[in-house]
Structure 1
Amino acid sequence: MATSALRFSPESLLRWIYLGRLALVSGMLTGAFLVWGEAQPQQTFVATLMFVVGLVSVAASLWWTDLASRPVRRSFLVTQVALDAVLVTGVVHITGGGESTFAWLYILVISEGALLLPLSAGLLLAVLASILYMGVIVWGHPETLSGSAGLQVGVFAAVAAATGLLGDRLRRAGMKLGEMESELRRLRLDTAEILTTISTGVLTLDEGGRILYLNPAGEILLGADQATLEADGAVALRSIAQFAPQLAGILQESMDRREASYRLRSEGTRAGIPMILGVSTFVREEPGDPLAVTAIFQDITDLERMAVLNRRAERLEAVAELSASLAHEIKNPLAS
């Protein structure tokens, strides 16, 4: 989904960082082994120390985030980015300082900080990476100090600003999308609860007559559950016709005409007892989506009986008034 593309979790990004850290220190140790006889003892010591630190840090971090399921706080993220900056500094140191071809790894560390941390913290870590880079050149390889080192620091600053702003916007967008997802999830739960508890039946069919949704009240009114209506691969609309033929006819007509219908009357039986349903249908046909027809139906048998009784009562009242009027007319001539 688009939301998941914009809103990532620090935990998922950290796993990739762990993998990259292991690859970095393992590559450095492998390279040191290949030139062990020619390399200086200081270089092999730094490569070995980097491997041990990287391996221990990854194991401890995995235990914290995945095994112990501890919360990932900002201090933990700052520690991860700072550790990667130190490891990259070690790589730059043993590969030539200012002449190292691995100085671009600082850009990955800066991007890591921009994605994991707020803008201010990411910029501070970018400053730390620049200080470490200049420090390893000045104190470790002063002979490689040149204008290109300053240019490299300028590139670090530009990358830090760009990725920091981008990461900040992504976080803000992710927070808004997260709020929208939470609201939609709450609305879905509320809607599902309402549809489950109401006494009105809700039935949705696709264009092929298969059931997309049937709530519990609908199963009660139809006298059959969804599994029964779709037993043995039967088309649900045909099965509905056995329980409520007029309702099935209304649904079929809405599908054929692709028009909604309102306040229709459908007669049927439930457990051998006559039943009258009030039915309204709605058609959903959007570009790219299949046709779907939703029927909302309710048992109006008691309402129909009340209406019949009311009409009878009204007729009786009319007859009584007419009888009283006739009696009055008949009585007056006799009295005169």
Structure 2
Amino acid sequence: MSVREGNVRGEEAGPPRRWLWRLIAGRVVVAALLLGMSALWAGGLAANAHESHRLGGVVPLVGAVLALSASYALALRFSSLPLRAQAGAQFAFDALLVTWLVWATGDLNSPYSALYIIAVSVASIFLGARGALLMSVGCAACYTATMLVFALGWVGGARDLTPASLAEAVETTGLNDVAFLVVGLLAARLAERQTRSEVEVREATSALASLRALHERIVESIRSGVITTDLRRRVYTVNRAAEEMIGYAAEDLRGKDVSILFGDITRQIEDSLRAADEGGVSPRHEAECLTSEGFLVKLGYSISPLSSESGETTGLVITFQDLTDVRSMEETSRRQERLSAVGRVAAGIAHEIRNPLAAMRGSIQVLRSEMQADPAQAELMEIVLRESDRLNRIITDFLTYARPRKFSLVETDLREPLRETFALLRHSPEVVDGHVLEEDLPEVPVPALADAEGIKQVFWNLARNALKAMPGGGRLRAEMRRARAGVVRITFADTG
């Protein structure tokens, strides 16, 4: 939109409603001041009776102003007429009222002719450049007509017109008309410039608002957490990704010390600011953060200075990522490597043990079949066979631990492994009469990508540990709840 189009649209839109209320109030104030001046003048300051009569003519005009102001207020409150039309009508009546005041209080030398200039100037504020020009032309026409009536004696009786008096009348009227028109032109110019400035300010404000909204959308779309703080480390802004990672809403963190999330980071801030001053890469740090749901997450973060337009550091920008899954996978990989190495050693040891163990067992079986039945010797041989079988089972269990099976992640309703675990527990010899088992599960399925057998083993181990903590009886309660999107909280609680 061009500035010229903005000017036209701004003039067509009309003044705000509150401006018209102020105009009505200002008009009443001016009328009161004129009435006060008239009363003061009539009370003894007038030089003669003629002057007293001139200024005393203000009184009926004040009554008209008050009546018209009441009409303007009613129209502004209840009328559907456009505000610009109401403002134009008010200024038209103002021109007529000033003309009446000039006519009622004097001749060519009426002191109230200056009110025309005030009316033109105020009209430029409310009606714009075009309204100011029309108001100046209207005021000049009213003043010229009034002076013409006085000069020709059409009102108040005939007057002796001499060439000198006629020249004076023409000169005074012409100068005043020129003054009205010049004021109108200047006011119109100022009004046009003001309108152009307002349009430019509105466009700049709109552009800044759009740019700010774009920046906010960019920050909210980043999948890394972003937190800004002031120099006292109080949280100022938090983006959506940060809220999802730490589980806190931005409103809950705003104004609080950032240490509630990352701990004491004084040294990290100093290192980061030093690196920024030296033009180096900001170092990476790690911290453990306790979420609002009570989960412990590992965060990798970096700190950068937040600078103003002048380059002064006004705060800090902390960007971070959730490294919990990454660190978990790294730990799992290291554990698998260790177990793989142990498994290879265990397989070799088991092979070396099982070979002589099998030979020993076979030899005992041969001896038992060839020797005469001696109860004592037969019992000893049976013990040797039984203990060799137990040793073989121990080796098998050790290999199972050293070489765990591979996990199979499938879509699983987490309620089912928990139900099966508690069903087995109720028939377990570890459960006595004093034990009470409770399950609190959601009514809707809780799907998750998990290893059903592995998670069932976890449930079984937790439940057995709880029962061992309550050998004489007690309450074991398992509860399953959705903490937030993508997170399920499973709680085992006992009274042991």
For residues 69 and 215 of structure 1, the distance between their equivalents in structure 2, rounded to whole angstroms, comes to 49
Is 1:89 the counterpart of 2:84? The answer is no
Deviations 1:58-83 (A, max 9, x none): 33434554x55968532122112212
Whether 1:131 aligns to 2:141 is yes
Return the offset for 1:215. 3.9
**Residues 32 and 141 from structure 1, CA distance in 2 versus in 1: closer, same or farther, beyond 3 angstroms?**
farther
> Is 1:102 aligned with 2:112?
yes
Question: Higher helix share goes to which structure?
Answer: 1
| Secondary structure in 1 matching 2:111 | coil
Cα RMSD after superposing both structures? 4.3
Structure 2 counterpart SS, 1:212: strand
8 Å Cα contact 1:246/1:268 also seen in 2: no
Structure 1 residues 52 and 82: alpha-carbon distance in aligned structure 2, compared to 1, 3 A threshold:
same
Q: 2:316 is paired with a residue of what secondary structure?
A: strand
Match in the other structure for 2:296: 273
Deviations 1:12-53 (A, max 9, x none): 54344323311232233445556399689x979964443233
Alignment pair present for 1:150 and 2:161: no
Helix, strand or coil at the partner of 1:266: strand
Equivalent residue, structure 2, for 1:214: 238
Deviation of 1:127 after TM superposition, in Å, equals 0.4
CA 1:68–1:291: 2 relative to 1, 3 Å: farther
How many residue pairs get aligned? The number is: 300
For residue 263 of structure 1, report the CA deviation from its aligned partner: 7.8
SS of residue matched to 1:117: helix
Q: Deviations over 1:148-187 (max 9, x none)?
A: 2211111111111111011111102211211222343344
1:279, 1:298 within 8 Å by CA — same for their partners in 2? no
Gaps of 5+ in 1: 1-6, 314-336
Could you give the per-residue CA deviations for residues 137-156 of structure 1, whole angstroms, max 9, x where no partner exists? 22246577241221111111
Identical pairs, percent: 22
Q: How does 1:248-259 map to 2 (within 5 A)?
A: 249-255=267-273, 259=277
Residue in 1 aligned with 2:34? 28
TM-score, structure 2 normalization: 0.50
> Secondary structure, in 3 states, of the residue corresponding to 1:97?
coil
Q: How many Å separate the matches in 2 of 1:207 and 1:186?
A: 28
Q: Which runs of 5+ in 2 are unaligned?
A: 1-9, 153-164, 337-496
Question: Does the 8 A contact of 1:130 with 1:153 survive in 2?
Answer: yes
Deviation at 1:257, TM superposition (A): 5.5
Residue number in structure 2 paired with 1:325? none
CA contact (8 A) 1:258 1:283 kept: no
Equivalent residues in 2 for 1:171-190, closer than 5 Å: 171-189=195-213
For residues 154-165 of structure 1, what are the structure 2 equivalents within 5 Å?
Answer: 154-165=178-189
3-state secondary structure, aligned to 1:50: helix
State the partner residue of 1:236: 257
Query: Which gives a bigger RCO, structure 1 or 2 (Cα 8 Å, sep 6+)?
Result: 1
Larger Rg: 2
Q: Within 1, Cα distance between the matches of 2:92 and 2:102? A: 15
Letter in 2 for 1:269: C
- 2:233–2:316 CA contact under 8 A, matched in 1: no
- Write out per-residue CA displacement over residues 279-304 of structure 1, whole angstroms, 9 at most, x where no aligned residue: 46343144496622222223243456
Residues 1:166 and 2:190 aligned together: yes
